[in-house]
Each structure stands twice: as structure tokens, then as C-alpha cells.
Amino acid sequence: MGVKNNSDSEFFEELCNRHYSKIYNFCKKLLYGYNSDFAEECTQNTFLEARKQITKLKTHPNIEGWLYTTSRNQINSFLRKQHVIRKYEVIFDEESFTSLAVLDNNIEKLFEEDINVEQLALDVLKSLSNQERDLYNAYYKKHLQIIDLSNKYNISTTAVTTRIYRLNKKIKNIIHTYLDKL
């Protein structure tokens, strides 16, 4: 930001004195229901932008209109940010905290259980058919690509992808059943 001369500073000071309260009231009206600090922030950002554009603003045909438009843009930007925040914000009440505590205790108990991963892997593989086990070994152990599996089994790549999807689903179900027994 370059050095501004005295006439720029005087112009900006006059601009603030003349329009600040009008712009603040405009922002406050558009942000009804929000904390008044947000209206103050939008007003300040409007005048900061005016300070950056002071040279152009001096020759602008409608300075007050420029200020209102800029403040509306500041408000729209603020509201977009608030929408995103509210969209992803999680609000907890007492019941939610209780549910989370119970869930946390259940997860803790699950991890305290002694799960023999090797035995679980063997049980999963035993429950697969020979064809499923062969596909599992080829895809996950040997890291063959789908096109290679397609050639090996003499089926389309779509069929291979479908079989892998079904195999994953079956393995997940077997593991869930195993964990539910604990």
C-alpha cells in the first residue's frame, strides 16, 4: 500500500465521518439476529476496502452507493462463511454426550478383548470358497491388476471388479460376525 498524501487522508476521514453510521446501521439491519459485532466487522471491512480504493473512490460518481454495495458484498461473504460453518458444525446436547460416553466405553471394551488377528485371518480364509480364496490371494497377496485377473479367469474386467466387491463385502460380514461374538 503506497504512501497516501494528505488529501487522501482528509478525504477518507470525511468519508468515515459522513457515512460510517449509515453503513453500520445498514449492516446491522441486514445481519438482524446476529451478534452486533458482525455488523461492526462488516462495516470496518467496508471502510478498509474504501481505504485501499481511495484514489478510485475520489472520482467515483456515487460514493455512497459504492459503500452500500461493498458492505452488501462483505455481508454476503460473511453469510456464506456462516452457512459453511453451520453446515459442518456439530452441536452436542447432554443426551449426545451420554451416548458418546457409552459408545466410547464399548469401543474401549472391544480393544481390551484379546483378538487373535492371525486366527481371525485363518477363519476368514477358511470360510471362503476355493474360487474366492484364489481371487483373494491373486488380488490382495500377489497384487495382480484387474486386467490380469480378467485374463486369468477368462471373464470381463467388470465381472472381476464385481467379484472383488462381493468378496470384500463377504469378508466384512465374516469379521463383523466374529466381533459380535466377543
Range of 31's domain? 6-88
Residue 55: name the closest of 105, 9, 114, 121 by CA.
Answer: 9
As a whole number, the mean pLDDT across the chain is 84
For residues 84 and 119, membership in a common domain is answered with no
Task: Work out the pLDDT band at 140, boundaries 50, 70, 90.
Answer: confident
The whole-number pLDDT of residue 122 equals: 85
Residue 73 contacts residue 79 (beta carbons within 8 Å): no
pLDDT digits (tens, 9 = 90+) for 6-42: 688 899 999 999 999 999 999 999 998 888 899 999 9
The CATH number that applies at residue 23 is: 1.10.1740.10
The whole-number pLDDT of residue 33 equals: 86
For residues 84 and 10, membership in a common domain is answered with yes
| Distances in whole angstroms, Cα of residue 103 to Cα of each of 66, 97, 178 | 55, 10, 19
* Number of independent structural domains in the chain: 2
Number of CB atoms found within 10 A of residue 26's CB: 20
**Helix segments in the chain, DSSP class H:** 6-30, 36-52, 54-58, 63-88, 94-112, 117-126, 130-136, 146-153, 157-181
For residues 126 and 79, membership in a common domain is answered with no
pLDDT digits (tens, 9 = 90+) for 111-128: 666 667 777 788 888 999
Task: Work out the pLDDT band at 173, boundaries 50, 70, 90.
Answer: confident
The CATH number that applies at residue 168 is: 1.10.10.10
Q: What is the pTM of this model?
A: 0.48
For residues 126 and 68, membership in a common domain is answered with no
pLDDT digits (tens, 9 = 90+) for 38-69: 999 999 999 999 999 999 999 999 999 999 99
Residue 124 contacts residue 168 (beta carbons within 8 Å): no
